[in-house]
Structure 1
Amino acid sequence: MTVTPASPDQIRRPPAQEPGTVTEPSAPAASLRVRQRLRTREDLIRAAIEVIAANGLGAATVDRITGRAGTSRATLYAHFPGGRADLLAEAYQTLGRDLVDAASILAARQGTWIDRLCAYPSAMLELAAKHELGLFYNVSGPQLVGIKRRGSGSQQTLDAIIAELRHAQEAGDVSSRLDIEAIAALLVGAIREAGIDTSRDPSTAPRRLAAFRQLLEALSHQ
């Protein structure tokens, strides 16, 4: 059989590179070891949250958490050198991120700026109604982990409220005279207080959410 060699035009070549350009190496995929390490860390954090939700903060011992995660004390300390305190601090921040994610999803489904902002206390009150988790996130957690500034959840909520109020201001839905940053900080405080009240007494949630909406409606009448 005769094989006809390919002509130069038929040979596929990589595209020509512009003079002076540098080809960036592709980022290496995370190794299996790294992925397993991250998965183990996440398992420990989620196990801590599950133990607190089921039995309260006092039950969240190293042994119970590692038992639920299916790992050892040595593994926990390898990931969290400070032991239980470091793990609970990370569990607190994780709950904050989960809270903001839930609020953002709910807000995206709403049609008005008031409804979108009400998504944030709604998500908080849903978390707070889970009694033990609510107490951990709103009452004992900040004291336990020694947070002296806003947690990730509070900061992201503040940023979202500022952005939403600015859009409402630009649209003429609220007065241009309003101090958006200061009002947003007060609203975040109101959400936190509503969370504390609901953690202690879930029956207060409907009134707190209604009052938050009334605050926003008052802003729209300025």
Structure 2
Amino acid sequence: MSTVQTVQFFDFCGYAGASGAEIPHQHHTIRDHNQPRTMSQKPAITSQRERNRLRTRNDILDAAAQLLGESGYAGTALEKIAALAGIARGTIYAHFPAGREEIVRAVYLRLAESVVERGVELRGQAEGLVDRTRALARALLEASADPRGRFYGIMGPDLAPILAGVTGTASRSFENFIRDDLLIAQQEGRLVPGADADALAEILNGALRAAGARAATEPESLETRIDAIGLLVAGLLNRPEPSTIGEKP
């Protein structure tokens, strides 16, 4: 059983404390980071030594992500990471000299990048405000429902100071995407009169975060919550949109 304490939700956004203030700063599955990116994204890894180093680094991050989801930060000890990754503890320091905190930040940033990449991919396949917002919801909820991404949806406050300064990238990206689509709908006369695109984008983004937190603890509710997001967005339109989504990815 997980010992993670639910505390509102972390971003994909940032820790919201008791005051609600943010600390600054698959089915799709989480992208396999042992696979090199395309040439446009990252230089090709040419030597076997470099490939092995990348594989070991990502084994460490995979192990840490799994432990964070199962046991929270307190249960993500270096000894457990090493055992799960099948390496010696000293090998961890060769990749992450600062130890556990550096690993946790790397896990978070890797997952945030994966969520944005997936969101961009799915949003690009959809048309219209409803389906494009559903696409973003799917990217976030699938990541949160994955055992290696569960900690992304819910975290304890002990991670707030560790992740301060690195959280918020995915959340801001998604809010901007939603705002852009709201403005397009508004310009085309499809949004209800008097709607404030900025305020609506912020609220819808919050709904995505709340749904992501629930998907982390109830992964079986993923499709229900994506549908709920779609219904919520559809209520902002003065006429229905044709769906561009057939089979769920």
Query: Shared fold (TM-score greater than 0.5)?
Result: yes
Q: What residue number does 2:64 align with? A: 48
Which structure shows the bigger proportion of residues in helix conformation?
A: 1
Larger Rg over CA atoms? 1
Higher RCO, 1 or 2 (CA under 8 Å, sep at least 6)? 2
Native 8 Å contact 1:56 1:132 kept in 2? no
Distance 1:196 1:205 in 2: 11
The structural deviation recorded for 1:95 is: 1.2
CA change 1:141–1:167 in 2 (3 A) is farther
SS in 1 for 2:235: helix
- Give the Cα separation in 2 of the matches to 1:164 and 1:141: 33
AA of the residue aligned to 2:120: S
- RMSD over aligned Cα atoms: 3.3
Q: Does 1:130 align with 2:124?
A: no
| Residue of structure 2 aligned with 1:210, choices 197, 204, 227 | 227
Q: TM-score, normalised by structure 2?
A: 0.62
Residue number in structure 1 paired with 2:155: 140
1:42 and 1:198 mapped to 2: Cα distance? 24
* Aligned-partner Cα distance in 2 for 1:142–1:93: 18
- Give identity over the alignment, percent: 32
Structure 2: stretches of 5+ with no match in the other structure: 1-42, 240-249
Q: Structure 1 residues 44 and 131, CA, compared in 2 at 3 Å: closer, same or farther?
A: closer
Q: TM-score, normalised by structure 1?
A: 0.69
**What's the counterpart of residue 90 of structure 1?**
106
Equivalent pair of 1:128/1:196 in contact (CA under 8 Å): yes
Unaligned runs of 5+ in 1: 1-27
- 207, 212, 216: which one aligns with 1:195: 212
Residues 1:190 and 1:143: Cα distance change in structure 2 (over 3 Å): farther
Cα 1:130–1:29 shift into 2, 3 Å: closer
TM-superposed CA distance for 1:145, in Å, is: 4.2
Q: Distance in 2 between matches of 1:171 and 1:188?
A: 22
The number of residue pairs the alignment matches comes to 193
Q: What is residue 78 of structure 2 aligned with on the other side?
A: 62
